[in-house]
Each structure stands twice: as C-alpha cells, then as structure tokens.
Amino acid sequence: MHCTEQISHDEYQKTADWLMSQTKHRPQVAIICGSGLGMLADTLKCQDSFAYSDIPGFPQSTVQGHAGRLVFGELKGKTCVCMQGRFHMYEGHSLCKTTFPVRVFKLMGVETLIVTNAAGSLADGLRPGDIMIIKDHVNFPGLVGLNPLCGPNDDKFGPRFPAMSGCYDKALCCLAMEIAKQQGVTSFVQEGVYAMVGGPNFESIAEARLLHRLGVDAVGMSTAPEVVVATHCGLRVFGLSLITNKVVKSYDDPDSVNHDGVLEVGRLRSHSVQQLVTELISRIEINNNTNNAV
Ligand SMILES: O=P(O)(O)O[C@H]1O[C@H](CO)[C@@H](O)[C@H]1O
Ligand code: HPA
C-alpha cells in the first residue's frame, strides 16, 4: 500500500489552488500540531478555517486529539497555516497521503515548516512535560522502505536522492534554545533525537530498551515522513516533541502509557509550547519567496 499509491503534481496543485481561492492568506509558515497540541492554532488572528472533509484531496483525521481542521491566520507579522490534526501511517493512510499537506503548503509558497508531536522519553534526563527540540530523527519505517518518497520521483519537488543530514535547521534549533533561555524555561527545554516507529501500539519493554541503547531520546509514531517530504522540496524545518510520558524500560515498573494521559500532558503544557512557538515564528526570517509554482 505504502509504495504503490502515487499522487500526481496536478492533484497537489488542485488542492493548493482550491485553498488559495478560498482564503486571501498566503502562508509563509506552516505548523503541524501533534496530539493534544491543536491549541497552537488559537493564537492566529484573522482566521480562515476549513474542515479537512471540505478540502479536495485531503485525508481525514481519525485520532482523538486531532481535530481535522486547517486554520490560516496571522501571527506576529507572519502569515501561517496550521494543521489541527495530522495523519499517521497507522490510521491506514498511505505515506504519500500522510504527507500530502506538506507539498500543498510548498505549492502555496510556504518556506518554513514547524512540526510538533507528543512523544515518550527514553533518555533518563527527559521527563513528562519537558520540551525536546528535535535535532535529528531515526525514521524506522523509512529505513525498511516505508518512505513517502518511494516510487517515481517528482523532479518538480526535489531530487531522487535528497540528503537528510541537515533536515532540522540548525539555526532554528539555536534560536529556539535562545528563546527558551530568554523565557526562563531552560529547566524543561533541551535538544534530542526523535525516533518514529509505526505504532499504533506503544513499545514493549524489549523494544524500549533497544531504542534506548540505540541512542534515541524520544519516540513517537509520526513526524519523520513529513520532515522527509519537506526537506525533499526545500522547506526549512523546525521540530519539537512534547514529552508526555516515560517509556517503560523495566519489567518491575508498573507504569503504563495511554493516549488520554498523552493528551492531558498536552493540555498542561500548552501555554509553554505556545509561547515558544509564537516567539520562534515572530523571529523567523522570511525570504518572501514568491515562487510558489515549484
Ligand atoms: O505524533 P503525534 O501525532 O503527536 O501523536 C503521538 O501520540 C499518539 C499516541 O498517544 C501517537 O499518534 C503518537 O505519534
Ligand atoms: O511512548 C510513546 N511511544 C510512541 N508514541 C508515543 N506518543 C506519545 N507517547 C508515545
């Protein structure tokens, strides 16, 4: 399923054209909200909002905590588009469907993508409620060929063999750390490596131990495909994980993770995540690249 579905350039363009006919906003920054982080859209002014079910070509959100709405608006002098709800491979979407909006955003003229997610921590120094700025990822599905770029390459978006060595923009990571310092929140903001697993089950203890030994700091079931597609088409990417739970690594630990707990931590930390992202957006430099025809 994952490698066979192909979406033509025209289909991405059709969705981009439809959205541009429905809103006057021309977004420079796109934000993908992770589980329980949909409130990131609340800060946008002069909103135009669309249910995914009304947008031609858009998949539907099926996961609790992902509202399924695309919100356009202004934030601190920047025009933004915010996905209140992302698509996951485990929902049954093909990988090109899970990443469909990213290419649509590129065609609309977006230059920077901010990805957020809820994740479980493997690193001992990362606690629930911490914010991890993603410095790199391990795309486990991608390593075994479950990659949204599989299939014929669309040269209009990017090259056949894109590099991923700089996929999380270093300057934006530094800027976020600087903002965390200025906001006095460095006690719960740090950098780390995110790993994507397929889900939908949470990790077994043996899997958690394996990920830990491999040097993974936090684990989730999303983000990497979006970042791969964004990097392929030349978007600048910033990512953050909200640590919502510790991944159980000991057979003696009676703790057990569940999705309601994940969403609850999102609610508790929403203000801090919002403040960090808002300030980052206000300080992002935009090239005003009007070439949105790719
Ligand atoms: O990655 P996001 O969408 O934030 O969601 C995370 O939270 C859900 C599990 O609670 C999974 O979907 C996992 O990937
Ligand atoms: O512990 C986790 N594992 C995988 N995905 C997750 N999303 C939130 N927490 C987790």
Protein residues whose CB sits closer than 6 Å to any atom of ligand 2: 118-120, 202-203, 219-221, 244-245, 247, 257, 262
Atom of ligand 1 nearest to the CA of 242: 4
How do beta strands 131-139 and 189-196 pair? parallel
Q: Is 112 exposed, middle or buried (0-12, 13-18, 19+ CB in 10 A)?
A: buried
First to last CA, the chain: 27
Q: Whose CA is nearest to atom 14 of ligand 1?
A: 221
Q: Please check whether residue 36 is in contact with residue 262, taking contact to mean a CB–CB distance below 8 angstroms.
A: yes
128-166 burial code (b ≥16 CB/10 A, e <16): bebbbbbbbbbbbbbeeebbbbbeeebeebbeeebeeee
- What pLDDT sits at residue 5? 82
> What's the rounded Cα separation, in Å, for the pair 42 and 202?
29
Atom of ligand 2 nearest to the CA of 121: 1
> What's the rounded Cα separation, in Å, for the pair 282 and 68?
25
DSSP for 138-177, please give it. Answer: EEHHHHTT--TT-SS--TTT--SS---TT-S-HHHHHHHH
How do beta strands 78-84 and 29-32 pair? parallel
Q: Whose CA is nearest to atom 5 of ligand 1?
A: 35
The backbone torsions φ and ψ at residue 159, rounded to the nearest 5 degrees and listed phi first, read -80, 160
In this structure, the dihedral spanned by the alpha carbons of residues 58, 271, 73 and 263, taken in order and rounded to 10 degrees, is: 10
Q: ipTM of the assembly?
A: 0.99
How do beta strands 131-139 and 112-121 pair? unpaired
Closest residue by Cα to residue 239 from 163, 183, 284, 176: 176
- What pLDDT sits at residue 286? 85
DSSP for 181-221, please give it. Answer: HHTT-GGGEEEEEEEE---SSPPPHHHHHHHHHTT--EEES
H-helix or E-strand spanning residue 264: helix 259-283
Cβ of residue 259 lying under 6 Å from some atom of ligand 1:
yes
Inter-axis angle of helices 9-22 and 100-107, nearest 10 = 60
- Domain spans in the chain, listed from the N-terminal domain onward: 9-283
- What pLDDT sits at residue 184? 97
- What pLDDT sits at residue 289? 58
- What pLDDT sits at residue 193? 98
Q: Please check whether residue 245 is in contact with residue 128, taking contact to mean a CB–CB distance below 8 angstroms.
A: yes
Distance in Å, CA 271 to ligand 1 centroid: 19
pLDDT tens, N- to C-terminus, the chain (294 residues): 445 689 999 999 999 999 999 999 999 999 999 999 999 999 999 999 999 999 999 999 998 888 999 999 999 999 999 999 999 999 999 999 999 999 999 999 999 999 999 999 999 999 999 999 999 999 999 999 999 999 999 999 999 999 999 999 999 999 999 999 999 999 999 999 999 999 999 999 999 999 999 999 999 999 999 999 999 999 999 999 999 999 999 999 999 999 999 999 999 999 999 999 999 999 998 886 544 433
Q: Which fold has domain 9-283?
A: Rossmann fold (3.40.50)
